[in-house]
Structure 1
């Protein structure tokens, strides 16, 4: 089969590799029908995730069709159309038993396209299939479903829920890429007073307005806009959705006393934590890897038309054109790319 293989920092190749095989009785093999590229994949290619070694098939967001299951898999059969979660869960360890699947100690967590081969391929092995796959209703398209593999649950759990967004809050989301837009979309579920989306790119600020932000700003003018909206107090919740030191530090300056900073972005470099300023302001700072406990709920909402996930798809490619898709996705300022979907 063909797959997108990481060949070291800055290098990737769409190349022939061996077909995946069942290794454990809890595995499933899926034919990949639709897949997308994540900002985390770009972080890997920059060398920000050194645990990814050369030779690894990338990708952790896919929709597919089950072609084979292990003897211990009870919930899925060949022919089932499924969403493959970005998080794998053994279902038995201490963390899985309380729904913290991202911290699985039984061989799961974020492993696809990280510690084991991922889903940017024609076929993929999915460990712990009963816990890591979701059957898809016919009413949910591949494009809608693939965004539920990672960005929607990540933004909802690590941003909106960790940030404790409440009705009437002023929410600032720094970064209007796919993760930031998904945070706008899911923050709206809690009826905040204002959602302010911050980005350098005008195209992404415009996308944030279309998704549901009522105010947009550049990093340079957001403080003035926020002060006007809040009387100088600051935002109740600020979400970091970029993953660079400057945006994290900006978030800590925008939050009000007693507020929450929810870091969603993947950081490859240290960020300064100004405790000399923050300690007296009662600021709560959270980080996190998604657990995907919310995926079934979000899937029901998408199926019911309550969550418009496919709005973020801007570009579509055939799977074999994945190198072109990476190029487009990696240059959003020039291409206007938000989320790209590759299909068979």
Structure 2
């Protein structure tokens, strides 16, 4: 089969690789019908995730069709159309029992496209298939559920839930890329009074308005602290969500919040960021971090299936699966191309 293979920082190739095979009785082999590229994949290619080694097939998001299952798999069977979660869950360890699947110590966690071969391929082996795949409801398109593999649960759990967004809050989202937009979409479920999107790209700020931001700030032109100060009588935002993963945006979030405010860091950081405790300690500031656990995926699936969340609006560019190299180019230049999520369809679509 063909797959997108990582060969070190800056080196990726669409090449022939062996077909995956069942290894454990809890595995499934899934034909990839639809996949996408994540900002984390770009971080990997920059060398920010050293655990990813030469020869790894990238990708951790997919919608596909079960082709075969191990003897211990009971909830899905060949022919089922499923969402493949970015997080694999053994279902038995301490952290899985606490619904902290991202911290699974039984062989799961974030492993696809990280510690084992991933989904940017014609087929993928999915460990713990019973607890790491979700049947796609009838009548729901691949585009509608593809972002439930990763970015929508991430924005919801690591941004909105960790940030404890409440009705009436002023929420600042720093970074209006896909994960920032997912946070904006999820924040609306909690009725904040204002959602302020901050970014350097006007195209992404336009998208943020379409996803529900009530105000936008290009921080190359205007200081977002002024805009949020005007909204809050100088107090600052109740919640600031970091959705980029660079030191400057994290530090900006700590400057945007009010005393008693909350910073929810989502971004994947490849370099240290300064935590100014000399300023923050007296302001009773809370900072949270996190890898998505995907405990919210069933809830988000219901919201998408019922039409309460329009997740298909993330899809801006479409490619065939064998055009992955072109898709990476478009996604990697999102500030120029306006790409939010690229949708790659396999031969079965």
SS at match of 2:56: coil
Q: How many pairs align?
A: 344
Give runs of aligned pairs for residues 44-63 of structure 1, distance below 5 A: 44-63=44-63
Residue 112 of structure 1 and its aligned partner are, at CA, apart by: 0.2
Per the alignment, residue 118 of structure 1 pairs with 118
Partner Cα distance (1:208, 1:143) in 2: 19
- Residue-by-residue CA offset, 1:189-238 (whole Å, 9 max, x unaligned): 00000000001000000000011001000224211111110010000000
Partner Cα distance (1:161, 1:243) in 2: 19
1:297 to 299, 307, 311: 299
Per the alignment, residue 192 of structure 1 pairs with 192
Partner Cα distance (2:334, 2:64) in 1: 27
Structure 1 stretch displaced more, 215-224 or 314-323: 215-224
Per the alignment, residue 158 of structure 1 pairs with 158
Partner Cα distance (1:136, 1:313) in 2: 18
Partner Cα distance (2:257, 2:230) in 1: 14
Structure 1 gaps of 5+ residues are none
Matched, 1:243 2:241: no
Matched, 1:259 2:261: yes
| Aligned Cα root-mean-square deviation (Å) | 0.5
Partner Cα distance (1:189, 1:72) in 2: 38
SS at match of 2:148: coil
Partner Cα distance (1:247, 1:253) in 2: 10
2:283 to 257, 275, 281: 281
Residue 291 of structure 1 and its aligned partner are, at CA, apart by: 0.2
Partner Cα distance (1:37, 1:310) in 2: 15
Partner Cα distance (1:300, 1:178) in 2: 21
Partner Cα distance (1:339, 1:221) in 2: 28
SS at match of 2:275: coil
Partner Cα distance (2:274, 2:229) in 1: 24
Per the alignment, residue 224 of structure 1 pairs with 226
Partner Cα distance (1:229, 1:335) in 2: 32
Per the alignment, residue 311 of structure 2 pairs with 309
Partner Cα distance (1:139, 1:256) in 2: 44
Partner Cα distance (2:67, 2:177) in 1: 34
Per the alignment, residue 320 of structure 2 pairs with 318
Q: What TM-score, normalized by structure 1, do the two folds share?
A: 1.00
Residue 336 of structure 1 and its aligned partner are, at CA, apart by: 0.9
Give runs of aligned pairs for residues 66-215 of structure 1, distance below 5 A: 66-215=66-215
Partner Cα distance (2:203, 2:218) in 1: 12
Matched, 1:327 2:298: no
Q: What TM-score, normalized by structure 2, do the two folds share?
A: 0.98
- Residue-by-residue CA offset, 1:5-60 (whole Å, 9 max, x unaligned): 00101000000000000000000000000000000000000000000001000000
SS at match of 1:159: helix
Residue 186 of structure 1 and its aligned partner are, at CA, apart by: 0.3
Structure 2 gaps of 5+ residues are none
**Structure 1 segments (4+ residues) deviating >2 Å:** none
SS at match of 2:5: strand
- Residue-by-residue CA offset, 1:247-293 (whole Å, 9 max, x unaligned): 00000000100010000000000000000000000000000000000
Partner Cα distance (1:43, 1:163) in 2: 24
SS at match of 1:334: helix
